[in-house]
Amino acid sequence: MQRQAAKITLDALDSEARMRSASLRWRVVHGFLSNKPSLIALVFLVGIFAIAIAAPLVSPADPLDQNLEGRLSAPMSSDGGTLNILGTDGLGRDILSRIIHAARFALPLVLGAAILAGVIGTIAGLYAGYREGIIGRFLLGIADMQIAFPYLVVAIAILGALGTSTLTLFVALSIFGWAGYTRVAAASVFGLKQREFVLAAKTLGASNLRILLNHLLPNVMAPIIVLFTFNVSTLIIVESALSFIGLGIQPPTPSWGNMLNDSQTYLGVAWWPATFPGLAIMLTVLAINIVGDRFRDVLDPSLRVD
């Protein structure tokens, strides 16, 4: 009878945790719908990812097709019946098509690396914050060491040692940021594990895994989501920087970084080969940061959502 009563009480605690999660989701939806700049930024990001997914269908030309006779054509110029909306580069390739296909390669890579870093870092932080002990202190110590290293130097070392390939680039990007998730998750768990609902679940015999998944993880997700958005924007800049110096996505595959690198030669005679990839990076990162700021405002209970 006591075991059955404890099970019913635990189920009630789990149900309460699910209700808190549902309330949080509604706050997020309402927070974006009530703020036009963040809603516009979110729609812009959805549009960028949709265009990246549908790149072969929406790009006006093949990003690798060269037309030396039409090289450095100005924006809105027409060449052989094809309108080059953003002009062409030094090899006569359509800049708009290259920007679209660059998003197709870079954004999934960056998003996947950010998700992997977030999963690894959050799991490590949950363990370190909940169990503490030698392993927990070791994980936090490794996280502190990783944060102390200049990331670009580490990424360049990894790519220089293992070679420039999509896999090594993914590994190099994934390493960035996990320590931040670990620190944030551990700090949140430190403050939560002595709360009444966690102590009640322990008293009623809930397993550590059940406590972590049903009670601690949902409460940790708010700062993790905010950190994730800023991590994605940082990784876009890092990937572009690595591609710019020749260690990221390799030509002829287009990326915003190697497009900027290619445009250096023509800066004195044509502004558009450098301007439009730079704008793509700036607008995407700006939109992600606006969305991240809104997530922070909505999910932080100390801040009031307008």
> pLDDT tens digits, the chain, 306 residues: what are they?
445 444 445 555 555 555 555 555 666 677 777 888 889 999 999 999 999 999 989 998 899 988 888 888 898 888 766 788 899 998 889 999 999 999 998 999 999 999 999 999 999 988 888 887 788 888 888 888 888 888 778 888 888 888 888 888 898 888 878 888 999 888 888 877 777 666 676 666 666 677 777 767 777 888 888 889 889 999 999 999 999 988 888 888 899 999 999 998 888 889 999 999 999 999 999 999 999 888 877 776 544 444
Q: What is the CA radius of gyration of the chain?
A: 24
> What pLDDT score does 152 carry?
79
> What pLDDT score does 111 carry?
92
3-state class (DSSP) for residue 77: strand
Q: Cis peptide leading into 252, omega within 30 of 0? A: yes
CA dist 86 and 79 (Å) reads 12
Alpha helices by DSSP H, listed for 72-132, are: 95-131
**Residue found by looking up tokens 């605690």 in the block:** 13
Could you please report the per-residue DSSP string of 29-68? HHHHHT-HHHHHHHHHHHHHHHHHHTHHHH-SS-TT---G
Contacts of 29 (CB under 8 A, 6+ apart): none
Domain ranges of the chain: 2-48+95-299
CA dist 94 and 86 (Å) reads 7
Which one-letter amino acid corresponds to residue 253? T
Q: Quick one: DSSP state of residue 93? A: -
Decide: 292 and 233 in contact? Cβ < 8 Å.
Answer: yes
> What pLDDT score does 145 carry?
85
Q: Which CATH class is domain 2-48+95-299?
A: mainly alpha
**Termini Cα distance of the chain:** 49
Decide: 96 and 60 in contact? Cβ < 8 Å.
Answer: yes
Decide: 231 and 151 in contact? Cβ < 8 Å.
Answer: no
Token pair belonging to 95: 């800049």
CA dist 68 and 90 (Å) reads 8
Token pair belonging to 16: 């309460």
Q: How many CA atoms, within 13 angstroms, populate the side-chain half-sphere of residue 149?
A: 16
Nearest to 235, CA basis, from 130, 70, 106, 91: 106
User: What H or E segment, with its residue span, contains residue 298?
Assistant: helix 272-299
